[in-house]
Amino acid sequence: MVGYKIAKTAGKTTVSKTGDKYFLIKKRYDPDTGAELDDSTSEHYIDNISRRVTDMESNITSLTSEKEDWEQLKTDFEAL
């Protein structure tokens, strides 16, 4: 979730659990006046979050490999 750590540190998000349900609560503000609005609450599932993390780790591995290939090609060209 993009920006979660920063929002948490700033006190703009909290998490809660009710039974086996997990919730993310975000503070909301009126963009024109800055007045505080009702909080936004969304339900999340640990399995879905775990799957997202796994997908991102796979993407990182793939991108790192591709980056290394480009770096090697650049090095080889520069050596000419």
Report pLDDT digits (tens) over 20-72.
899 999 999 999 999 999 999 999 999 999 999 999 999 999 999 999 999 99
Domain that holds residue 31: 1-44
pLDDT at position 14 over 90:
yes
Same domain, 4 and 35: yes
**Residue 58 and residue 64: Cα distance in Å, rounded?**
10
Same domain, 30 and 58: no
Same domain, 6 and 29: yes
pLDDT category at 2 given cuts 50, 70, 90 is confident
3 φ/ψ sector (left φ>0, alpha ψ -120 to 50, else beta):
left
Same domain, 40 and 64: no
Specify which residues 26 forms β-bridges with: 13, 40
Same domain, 61 and 76: yes
Same domain, 27 and 50: no
Report the domain count for the chain: 2
Q: What pLDDT is attached to residue 43?
A: 97
Q: Is the pTM of this model over 0.75?
A: no
Three-class DSSP category at 28? strand
Q: What pLDDT is attached to residue 64?
A: 97
Same domain, 40 and 3: yes
Same domain, 10 and 40: yes
Q: Which helix (H) or strand (E) holds 36?
A: strand 36-44
Q: What pLDDT is attached to residue 10?
A: 95
